[in-house]
Amino acid sequence: MQEFVVLISEKKSILAPKNKVFTSKYGKIDTAGVKIGDCITLKDEIFVVAEPSTPDLLKKCRRGAQIVMPKDAAQLVAITGLSRGWRCLDAGSGSGFMSLFLGIIVGRQGQVITYEKRADFFSIAKKNIELFKLDRVVAIKNQDVTEFRERNLDLIFFDFKDSSILIKKAKSRLKPGRWLVVYSPHIESQLSALAEMRDNKMHISATVETIQRFWKSNFGYTHPEPSGIMHTGFMTFARKVL
Amino acid sequence: MQEFVVLISEKKSILAPKNKVFTSKYGKIDTAGVKIGDCITLKDEIFVVAEPSTPDLLKKCRRGAQIVMPKDAAQLVAITGLSRGWRCLDAGSGSGFMSLFLGIIVGRQGQVITYEKRADFFSIAKKNIELFKLDRVVAIKNQDVTEFRERNLDLIFFDFKDSSILIKKAKSRLKPGRWLVVYSPHIESQLSALAEMRDNKMHISATVETIQRFWKSNFGYTHPEPSGIMHTGFMTFARKVL
Amino acid sequence: MQEFVVLISEKKSILAPKNKVFTSKYGKIDTAGVKIGDCITLKDEIFVVAEPSTPDLLKKCRRGAQIVMPKDAAQLVAITGLSRGWRCLDAGSGSGFMSLFLGIIVGRQGQVITYEKRADFFSIAKKNIELFKLDRVVAIKNQDVTEFRERNLDLIFFDFKDSSILIKKAKSRLKPGRWLVVYSPHIESQLSALAEMRDNKMHISATVETIQRFWKSNFGYTHPEPSGIMHTGFMTFARKVL
Amino acid sequence: MQEFVVLISEKKSILAPKNKVFTSKYGKIDTAGVKIGDCITLKDEIFVVAEPSTPDLLKKCRRGAQIVMPKDAAQLVAITGLSRGWRCLDAGSGSGFMSLFLGIIVGRQGQVITYEKRADFFSIAKKNIELFKLDRVVAIKNQDVTEFRERNLDLIFFDFKDSSILIKKAKSRLKPGRWLVVYSPHIESQLSALAEMRDNKMHISATVETIQRFWKSNFGYTHPEPSGIMHTGFMTFARKVL
C-alpha cells in the first residue's frame, strides 16, 4: 500500500504520498528521499514533513455514505471505555469511518467485524480500511447485518435504519456488562431502541447528543463560528445484564 | 493491587472488590468465587458479574482537583488521532484522570509522563494510576512542570493556570507535526495560548468547546435533562511546524 | 394595590414597597417619601431608588406551577410578532407568568384570557395579575380550558398536558393567519401537536428550542456558567389557514 | 404607503401588496378587493388572506448591514422588561431591524431614537421604518452616535464597534435603574464593555448568548436541523446606579 507523509505549514496541511512526484494545488511536490522533520518550501511557505495523524489520513478517505463524526465516535471511548483488545461489531459500515476509529483503538489484540450490504459502500469502506492498514484488525463483510453470527462481543455499534429489530439478538451476543450503542439522527429511532433495550432488561446508561462549537480568534476578534453543524446524531448506550 | 468486578442490574451498577465480603449500600456482598457472567440477587434485584469498563473504575478514583471530563478528554482522540504508542506529557496531573485516559489509549508501547507539584494531588493521582494498573505506562513526578525535560513527544496536554508561558518550550519538545493541547475553563487562557502558539509559528488546528446533553425518556415523556453541565473548558489544538 | 420601587446598588437589587418601613435582609428600610433617583445607604452600600422593571416585579410573584421562562416567552414576540392590541388565550395559567408577559405586550387595546382549573394555581395567578395591575387586560377563569368559548383570537398559547386534543378547536377560534403555540418539555407532546396541526391544515412555522448561556467574567477569568438550565421546553408555532 | 396582506397556505406564505396585480414566483396574483379571511387558489394550492404579522413584513425589509436576529432582540423583553412607553436609543441603526422591534414594543407612548452615520444604511433603515409605519415612533438620524444628545432614557442599545468608549456617556443619559445593553459578536467587546460598566458603577445584570435550534419532523423522522446558526452575538445588560 501507498505510504504517506503530511506536510504542515502554519496555515496548511497536505497529505502527500511518500517517494513520489505529485501535483498538489500548491504545485508539483517531490517527496523522494524526504525524511520526517525535513523542511520543504512551496510558494514561499515553509512546510515540515511529519508522520500523518489519523485526522490527516481521514481527509484522504473516500466517502459514500454519511459518516459518523469524530466528536461522536470519540464518545465511545468516553462513555464505554472502549480500549485495546475489545471485540466490536459495527453495522453498517458506510464509508468505514467508525470501523477505522474502532480498529485504531482496539488494535491487533482486538477485532472489528463490520457489515455492509450495499456493494458500493462496501467497496469504499474496504479501500479505506486498506489505506489505514487495518486489514488485520477490521474484517468487512458484504452482507446484511441481520445475518451476523459473531458472539462474545465487547461492543456493538448500530448505525442503520430500524436497528431496533436487531437489539434482542445483539444483546444475546454481548459479554456480560458489555455495550450496545445505537446511533441515529432521529429521536424516534432512539425511542424504539430504548424500548427494545428495556424489554431485553438491558442497563440503560445514557442517551446523549454531543454538540461542538469551533471558535475563531483573529486580530482581537474572538467568537464561535457563526454557522456550523447543529446536530449529527443521538447515541444510546446500554449494557447487557441477562 | 486489589482487583475488581462490576455488578450490573437493570437500574444499578456496583464496583466490587474481587474475592471479598464487603458492605455496600445494597447490603453485604460476598464476591468470593464469583465469576464473570454469574448472577447475584441483592434485595430482589438481579445483578450480573462483569469485567469493569473504564467508567466503572473511574467512579472508584479519588478526586482532589477538578477533573477533565470524559467528553472533553475524548476529543484528543477525535481531533489529534491520539493512539497506541504515543509519548505524552500531561501537566498538571490533578487527580490523574487525563493521565489514565492517555495511558489507556497509548498502552505499553506508549508512555505518559505527568507532573504535579502539589503533594496532595500527586498522592491522589498516584493511587489512581495504581488502581488502573498503569504504573508501567504512566510516570508521575511530584515536580513543577516548568522543569520538564522530556523530548520527542507526540502530545503535550496543558491544564494549569498560565500555561502560555510554557508553550515555547513545549513546542520545542514535540516531534514535527505533533500536538500541543491547551485546556482551560477561561477564554483568556485560550487567547494567550493562541498568541504564543502563533508567535511560535505553530499550525493552529482548532479551538473547540464540547457540550453534551443527556436525554431522559420515561413513560412516553422524552426530553433533555432540565439542568446540567453547561460548560467545562475550551481546548486549543496546535501542531509543531518549525 | 401596593406600589413598589426597586433599590439598586452595584451588586444588589431589592424590591421595596412604597412609603413603608419594612425589614429586608439588609436591615430595616424606610421608603416613606423616597423619590425615583434618590440614594439610600444600607450597610455602607449605596442604592438608587428606581421604577421597577418587569423582571424586578417577577421576583415578587408567587409561584405554584412550573413557570415558562422569559427566554422562551420572548420567542412569542420574536416568531409570531405578538404586539399591542392582540387578543390571546393562555392555558393553563399556572402561576400566571405567561399571562403577565402577554398582558404587558398587548396592553389595554388587547386582551388576555387565561384558564386554570386548579383552585390553588388560579388563586396564585390571580394575585400575580393584581400585583402587575393587569386586571383590565388579563381575565382569569377558574375553569377547565376545554370549555373555552373565545373566538377571533390572534394567539393561543397551550402549556398543559395533552394539549393536542384541543388543537382542532383552537384552530377554529383563530383569526386567519394567526398563531397557535404549543409549549411542552417533552418531544412527544410536540409530535402529537404537530400531527394534529397538520391534520387541521395549519401552516407549520417552526418547532424550536431556545438555549441560553450566562457568562461570568471576574478578574480576567471569563467563561460560561459551569452549570445551569440545559432544557426548558420545545415550542411549536402554527398559523391558521382554513 | 403601500399596504400589505399575507397569503398563507399549508406550505407557503406570500407577502402581497393590497389592491394590486403583481407577479410572484407562484404566478400573477390580483389582490384587488380581497378581504382578510378570503381564500385564493394559486397553482392548486389554497391560500388564506391574512393581516401580516411582524415576521411577514420583516421579510420585505431591505437589508444592508448584518441584522440583530429576533431570538436576540426578544431578550430585551425577557431580561429588561422593555415595554410600552419606554424611551430608547438604538445605535447604530444598520438596516433598522432593532429600531423596528423596539418601536413595535414601545408604541406611540414611547420613542425610539436611532443613529446611523453611513448614508447607505441610513437610507435603508429609513425605508424600513416607513414600511412598518413607525415614523411617529422611531426617529432616525444620519449622524454619528457619539454626538447623541438624548437624556432620560429607559434603554440604550449599542451594536457598533468600540461601543465601550460611549458607556460613560450612555450611563449618564439613563434614568435611574434603567438599562444599557451592549450587543456584539465578539467576546472582547463584551469584556471592554463590562470593564467600562464596572468603572461607571453600573449594576451588571448578565452577559448572555442565546442559541436556537430548529427541529424538523417528517414521516416519523424528528431531529434538530443538521446545520444552522451557531452564534450571533453576546449581550451584556447593565443598569444605571449612580
User: Which CA distances in Å does A157 have to A78, A82, A168, C184, D13?
Assistant: 15, 12, 14, 32, 43
Rounded to a whole number of angstroms, the distance from the CA of C97 to the nearest CA of chain B is 19
Helix C97-106 and helix C70-80, axial crossing angle in degrees, nearest 10: 40
Distance from CA of D122 to the nearest CA of A (A): 26
CB C115 within 8 A of CB C148: yes
Nearest CB neighbour to D186, from listed A222, A227, A229: A222
In whole angstroms, give the CA distance from residue B21 to residue B19: 7
- Which of B207-216, B229-238, C63-72, C183-192 has the least mean pLDDT? C63-72
Which of A230, A234, A235 to mutate to test binding with chain D, by most D CBs within 10 Å of its CB? Answer: A230
Average pLDDT for residues D117-136, to the nearest whole number? Answer: 95
CA gap D93, D105 in Å, rounded:
17
Chains touching A (3+ CB pairs < 8 Å): B, D
Question: What's the one-letter identity of residue A133?
Answer: K
Number of Cβ within 10 Å of residue B27's Cβ equals: 8
A218 touches chain D (CB under 8 A): no
What CA–CA distance (Å, rounded) separates B183 from B68? 9
CB of C71 within 8 Å of a chain D CB? The answer is yes
For residue range B11-63, what is the model confidence (pLDDT) as tens digits? 999 999 999 998 888 888 999 999 999 999 998 999 999 999 999 999 888 88
Q: pLDDT by residue (tens digit) across C168-195?
A: 999 999 999 999 999 999 999 999 999 9
Burial environment of residue A144 by CB neighbours within 10 A (0 to 12, 13 to 18, 19 or more): middle
State the pLDDT confidence band at C1, using cuts at 50, 70 and 90.
low
Chain B residue closest in CA terms to A206: B214
How far is C-alpha C223 from the geometric centre of its chain's CA atoms? 29
Confidence of residue A114 (pLDDT cuts 50, 70, 90): very high
Cα gap C47→C11, rounded to integer Å: 9
Residues A14/A26, Cβ–Cβ less than 8 Å: yes
Minimum-distance CB partner of D222 among A186, A226, A229: A186
| Chain B touched by A203 (CB under 8 Å) | yes
Residues C48-78: pLDDT tens digits?
999 999 999 998 888 887 889 999 999 999 9
Mean pLDDT of chain D: 95
pLDDT score of D45 more than 80: yes
Cβ neighbours of C127 (radius 10 Å): 14
Instruction: Say whether residue C188 is in contact with chain B using an 8 A CB cutoff.
Output: yes
Give the C-alpha distances (Å, rounded to integers) separating A217 from A8, C157, D233. 20, 42, 14
Chain B residues with CB under 8 Å of A56 CB are: 81
The mean per-residue pLDDT over the stretch C139-167 comes to 97
Pairing of strands D203-218, D221-224: antiparallel
CB A22 within 8 A of CB A5: no
Q: What percent of chain A has pLDDT over 70?
A: 100
Among B100, B78, B36, B54, smallest CA distance to B206 is for B78
> Are A240 and B48 inside 8 Å of each other by CB?
yes
How far is residue A77's CA from residue A82's CA, in Å, rounded to a whole number? 5
Residue-level pLDDT at B1: 60
Q: Do A8 and B177 touch (CB under 8 A)?
A: yes
Q: Which of A71-75, B69-73, B196-200, C19-23 shows the lowest per-residue confidence on average (mean pLDDT)?
A: C19-23
Residue type, D145: V
- State whether residue D115 is helix, strand or coil: strand
What the block records as the C-alpha cell of A129 is 480500511
C212 contact residues in B (CB cutoff 8 A): none
Instruction: For residue C11, give the chain D residue with the closest CA.
Output: D203
Nearest C-alpha of chain B: how many angstroms from C233? 8
Global pTM value: 0.96
Output the pLDDT for position A64. 82
Please indicate whether residue A111 or residue B65 has the higher confidence score (pLDDT).
Answer: A111
Nearest to B230 among C186, C222, C228 (CB): C228
pLDDT tens-digit readout, D5-15: 999 999 999 99
d(C-alpha D204, C-alpha D237), whole Å: 6
User: Cβ distance C83 to C104 under 8 Å?
Assistant: no
Mean pLDDT over each residue of chain C, to the nearest integer: 95
Q: 3-state secondary structure string, D129-181?
A: HHHCCCCCCEEEECCCHHHCCCCCEEEEEECCCCHHHHHHHHHHCEEEEEEEE
What's the pLDDT band for D54 if we cut at 50, 70, 90?
Answer: very high
**What angle (nearest 5°) sits at the alpha carbon of residue B232, between those of residues B227 and B238?**
150
CA dihedral B97, B99, B100, B106 (to 10 degrees): 150
Instruction: Judge whether D15 is closer than 8 Å to chain C, CB to CB.
Output: no
Residue D64 reports pLDDT greater than 90 = no
pLDDT > 90: what percent of chain B? 91
- Chosen for mutation from D213, D218, D227, D231 (greatest number of chain A CBs closer than 10 Å) is D231
Looking at residue C98, its pLDDT comes to 97
Residue B37 · residue B51 · CB < 8 Å: no
> Cβ separation of B188 and C220 shorter than 8 Å?
yes
Using CA atoms in the order A85, A88, A93, A95, what is the torsion angle rounded to 10 degrees? -30
Between CA C116 and CA C148 the distance in angstroms is 11
Q: Which residues lie below 8 Å from residue D218, measured CB to CB, with a gap of 6+?
A: none
Give B164→chain A minimum CA distance, Å.
16
Q: Cα(first)–Cα(last) distance of chain C, in Å?
A: 44
Q: Which of C185, C221, C224 sits opposite B223 (nearest CB)?
A: C185
pLDDT band at D1 (very low <50, low <70, confident <90, very high): low
Which residues in chain C have their CB less than 8 angstroms from residue B224's CB?
230-231
pLDDT at C47: 97
CB contact under 8 A, D213 and C217: no
Asked if ipTM goes beyond 0.85, one says: yes
List the chains bordering chain D where 3 or more Cβ pairs fall under 8 Å.
A, C
Closest CA to D148 of D130, D125, D129, D167: D167
Q: Give me the mean pLDDT over the D82-104 stretch.
A: 96
- The total of other beta-carbon atoms located within 10 Å of residue B35's CB is 8
Q: Please state, rounded to an integer, the average pLDDT across all residues of chain B.
A: 95
Pairing of strands C227-229, C234-239: unpaired
How would you classify the pairing of strands A138-141 and A111-115? parallel
Q: What is the 3-state secondary structure (H, E, C) of chain C?
A: CCCEEEEECCCCEEEEECCCEEEECCEEEECCCCCCCCEEEECCEEEEEECCCHHHHHHHCCCCCCCCCHHHHHHHHHHHCCCCCCEEEEECCCCCHHHHHHHHHHCCCCEEEEECCCHHHHHHHHHHHHHCCCCCCEEEECCCHHHCCCCCEEEEEECCCCHHHHHHHHHHCEEEEEEEEEEECCHHHHHHHHHHHHHCCCEEEEEEEEEEEEEEEECCEEEECCEEECCCCEEEEEECCC
Q: State mean pLDDT over B118-125.
A: 96
